[in-house]
Amino acid sequence: MRVTTVDPPGAQPGDEVVLSGSGFAEGLSVTVGGQAASVVKTEPEAVRFQMPQLAGAPGSVHPVLVASAGGRGAPPVQLYLGRLPLVSAVEPARGVAGDLVRVRGAGFTAETTVVTFDGQPALVAAAGASELLVVVPPSSRSQAETLVPVVVHARGRASSESGFTLQRLVEGTWVPRFIAGAVGEGGTAGQATVGTELAPVLLLSSKDESRSTGERALSVAKALDAAVDRARVGQAVAFEAREEPEVCVALVGAPDRLLKVLPQDAAAYETPPGQPGRGAPPTSMALARHWAALLTDTVAIGTSGAKPSATADLGSPWSHAFAQLRAALPWQYGSGVASARVLAVSPELKRKLREAALRVP
């Protein structure tokens, strides 16, 4: 007697579960986690039973034992308590936007899994059947700490909620940290954004040399944060587009490129998520110039309060959005931009910044 599959691999008490295999016969018994289950139907290659009441938290794993009337048993298989997908743990259990967390559980799929924190889609940087590596998305909450629900959507179902304590700076100086994020509505598989908590700045549509686009976004965000740290200690930081040896964005005066601009990235801007199409994709060099202008003014406004000169050359709506951003985030010598001003940025301005980022002149 042998069990080859368990369908579904997770169930609530009272749900029906089917064991497929061989050598089954009338009179056999099924136990789950040591509790006797009610056998509904037995066939030579399948056994259907009802999940019994079990002690344990959702996501706990329990052995399923099948034994014949004569006492001979099949090797045990595992069954989760709870309907899939399910979340058993979020580790660490607290953090800020941009942090990497591991969501553990069962029933995840690499292709279709969506994770939300407080209803906001999070970037899934890596996915397996029982573990997801996820980037915490920005929060619209104004509290220093908020317990928010984490939900995994997969296989056409949503998991039960698991809690995560989302933290944010509500006093002191704001630092424009870059966050790898999910595209959200209108995006397609294999895309990711890099931006601040206010709005995306870059839309990436290729994994380049990374294992996934999400992993590439994390690497780009880390490089941009290093540039922000240089600006915060008084070093001049500006970004430029370069054509040789390949189209890329780099720091002015520094030899190393920050990120390549690939044809797949440019192609996505022909019809950017949530925006009208432009008729044809921009060239890679045009996109590199666009990215360089957005990054230059984003860092300048957040670290020195400088006028947004790079986006001014792009015309409206780009110049208008960044001029409004500078007005909304007044910078003061010695204290920078107050975190309270960031919390007060209007949804309308955030919309304009997103539009400016996703539309290439």
Report pLDDT for 279: 87
Q: Which residues of the chain have pLDDT under 70?
A: 111-112, 186
User: Nearest CA to 275 among 356, 180, 193, 179?
Assistant: 356
How far apart are alpha carbons 1 and 95 in whole angstroms?
48
Rg value, the chain, Cα = 26
> What does the pLDDT look like over 279-298, one tens digit per residue?
899 999 999 999 999 999 99
Which residue bears the tokens 């950017």? 272
Report pLDDT for 108: 85
For the whole model, what pTM was predicted?
Answer: 0.84
CA distances, 185 to each of 97, 230, 274, 334 (Å): 19, 34, 7, 40
Phi, psi of 14 (to 5 degrees): 95, -20
How far apart are alpha carbons 32 and 258 in whole angstroms?
54
The percentage of the chain sitting over the pLDDT mark of 70, rounded to a whole number, equals 99
Report pLDDT for 57: 78
Write the single-letter amino acid at 15.
Answer: D
Sorted by sequence, the CB contacts under 8 Å of residue 177 that are 6+ apart come out as 98, 196, 197, 225, 228
Report pLDDT for 169: 83
**CA quadruple 71, 77, 82, 88: dihedral sign:** positive
Sorted by sequence, the CB contacts under 8 Å of residue 302 that are 6+ apart come out as 174, 175, 176, 196, 228, 329, 331, 336, 337
> What does the pLDDT look like over 341-351, one tens digit per residue?
999 999 999 99
Please report the domains of the chain, with CATH numbers, ordered by start residue.
Answer: 2-81 (2.60.40.10), 220-361 (no CATH)
Report pLDDT for 139: 86
Report pLDDT for 142: 86
Report pLDDT for 339: 93
Burial class, 358, CB count within 10 angstroms (exposed 0-12 / middle 13-18 / buried 19+): buried
> What does the pLDDT look like over 46-68, one tens digit per residue?
999 999 999 887 778 899 999 98
Report pLDDT for 328: 97
